[in-house]
Structure 1
Amino acid sequence: MSVTFKDVEKYRRDGFVLVEGLFSPDEIRKMIHEVENGSDVAASAEGVVDRSGRAARLAIWFDLKKDIWAGASTCPRIVNTVRILLGEDAAFFHGKVMMKEAKTGGAWEWHQDYGYWYEQGFVYPNMISAFVALDEATVENGCLQVLSGSHHMGRMNHGKAGAQTGADPSRINEISSMFERVHVTMKPGSVLFFHSNLLHSSSSNDSDHHRRSFIMCYSACSNPQLLTSGEMKFREPCPVDTDASILKFPG
């Protein structure tokens, strides 16, 4: 198993848990090969501008295709960990590759994922992200920062911050001293699982090294999504592939 009982306790208390080395060097090499050589990520990646005008690039998709990203998103090491942390079966929501490139990659403002997933109709915040480090994530290249335990506050108001969606800056200033700020440094292949209401951000990348990541997002199957048509949708459980599903891809 990827997580222990103590890990589950930490996730509930702090809103996040880091699992080291969940993906092997071979698996990470293949994912980076797809980022650098695959057509889908390169073609769909768009710059997302921060308050300073610098941009990180983001590619996002909502369907499981027959590609390496679906292989990772349905890997039992991921899906079973998500099930344990959510406390029930999980549905795939979306995946994305974030590219914070050397010397140019912009910051991500403080936000909660549920701050904008709420606007997509999800009734409850029983949702989770699995953040995979493709490159080493350091303070210098803009690793993720989290406010430990901030998911207990519930959803904050969000608005525009550059081209991004960010939490209310005045409220962030008021509450940030209440929580421990953690710089989540990560080795390639490590995965950070974090709650949809956990406040997180990252600084710009002023270093000589890329900081690329792959993020898989899931919702509890019992969490209804209100559609614009007025209907209520319940998502199907995420399929589970074999543990070697990533290794069949080139790279």
Structure 2
Amino acid sequence: MSEFTFSENFSVTEEIKSTFEVDGYIIIKSVFSQEELIKIQTAIGAKGGVREHAYDLDDGAGLKSKMALWNHPGDDVTGMVGKCEKVAGTMEKLLGGEIYHYHSKLMMKEAKTGGQFVWHQDYGYWYNNGCLFPNMGSVMIAIDKCDSENGCLQVIKGSHKLGRIDHVNVADQVMADPVRLEEVKKHLPLEYASLDPGDAIFFHCNVLHRSDQNRSDRRRWVFICSYNRADNNPYFEHHHPLYTPLKKVSNDAILTCKNVSDFTGKWFVEKSDNKTLSR
């Protein structure tokens, strides 16, 4: 996997952008410091906060994961994650134009019981939300160490060039056409995105990805911010937002933000409202 390291003078170079365009993803090490991670985890666990909006996702193979999903970043600490330059600004440069916050998620695979996520493309179902072009992407930030033992992200390198693949429902998830998927795996390499806490993987919405069940003694929590290009405004209203201008904040905003527990305006999506799960 192509890896880069975050620093105070980090910028999206031609090498970084080229790697993203060829592979469909990049890993940036140490995007968040230990101090920032502690503050993010405090905000996640705050009373009435994002963790309390989590619901189970059946993996179709006997285990479950938990997910909390919200549409607008808000002005709390977790909102600063989705608005900061090192996340949103980097994705904006990778996608080649103004972006807005499509949604964020806290994905929780607990030790021993965390469910798998089947092979899919995010655009496999975002397409059905009225987004005409695959000018979209996500940033997965490791809260815990993520490796092959506790169900880290797996990606198929270069699979974003395949275009959108048809998807089918599996339990509480959406899966890429399994017959086509087997052919894809004969031609493109599978990579394991092992991440240390604070690392992030930026990936295109058409990259095929999945993760295994967590049978280990360690939990695996990740924070995912997803974005849509402003010129790709969905043509109908759905359970995620239409174009909403994103006011990016500086990289020190997480540490300076004093709002840990006011989640006004985040627009949490409950399981019954998530149309993706009913397709």
Aligned to 2:232: 223
1:30 aligns with 2:47: no
Q: Does the 8 A contact of 2:44 with 2:78 survive in 1?
A: no
Q: Does the 8 A contact of 1:145 with 1:202 survive in 2?
A: yes
With over 3 angstroms needed to count, the CA separation of the structure-2 counterparts of 1:50 and 1:25, relative to structure 1, is: same
Q: Does the 8 A contact of 2:83 with 2:249 survive in 1?
A: yes
Superposed displacement of residue 236, structure 1? 3.6
Q: Does the 8 A contact of 1:7 with 1:17 survive in 2?
A: yes
In the TM superposition, what are the counterparts of 1:89-168 in structure 2 within 5 Å?
Answer: 89-168=98-177
Q: Does the 8 A contact of 2:73 with 2:79 survive in 1?
A: yes
In the TM superposition, what are the counterparts of 1:1-251 in structure 2 within 5 Å?
Answer: 1-227=10-236, 235-247=243-255, 248-249=257-258
**Whole-angstrom CA distance in 2 between matches of 1:2 and 1:99:** 30
- Give the TM-score taking structure 1 as reference length: 0.94
Q: Does the 8 A contact of 1:2 with 1:22 survive in 2?
A: no
Structure 1 runs of 4+ with >6 Å offset: none
For 1:109, give the aligned amino acid: V
Q: Does the 8 A contact of 2:121 with 2:208 survive in 1?
A: yes
Superposed displacement of residue 220, structure 1? 0.9
Q: Does the 8 A contact of 1:155 with 1:197 survive in 2?
A: yes
Partner of 2:228: helix, strand, or coil? strand
**Whole-angstrom CA distance in 1 between matches of 2:110 and 2:62:** 15
- Give the TM-score taking structure 2 as reference length: 0.85
Superposed displacement of residue 38, structure 1? 4.2
With over 3 angstroms needed to count, the CA separation of the structure-2 counterparts of 1:2 and 1:50, relative to structure 1, is: farther
Question: What CA deviation, in whole Å up to 9, does each residue of 1:163-217 have, x standing for no partner?
Answer: 1111111111121121110000001111100000000000000111111000000
**Whole-angstrom CA distance in 2 between matches of 1:2 and 1:142:** 30
Q: Aligned residue pairs: how many?
A: 248
**Whole-angstrom CA distance in 2 between matches of 1:218 and 1:202:** 21
Q: Does the 8 A contact of 1:86 with 1:127 survive in 2?
A: yes
**Any gaps of 5 or more consecutive residues in structure 2?**
1-9, 262-279
Q: Does the 8 A contact of 1:2 with 1:19 survive in 2?
A: no
Superposed displacement of residue 237, structure 1? 3.4
For 1:243, give the aligned amino acid: N
Partner of 1:110: helix, strand, or coil? strand
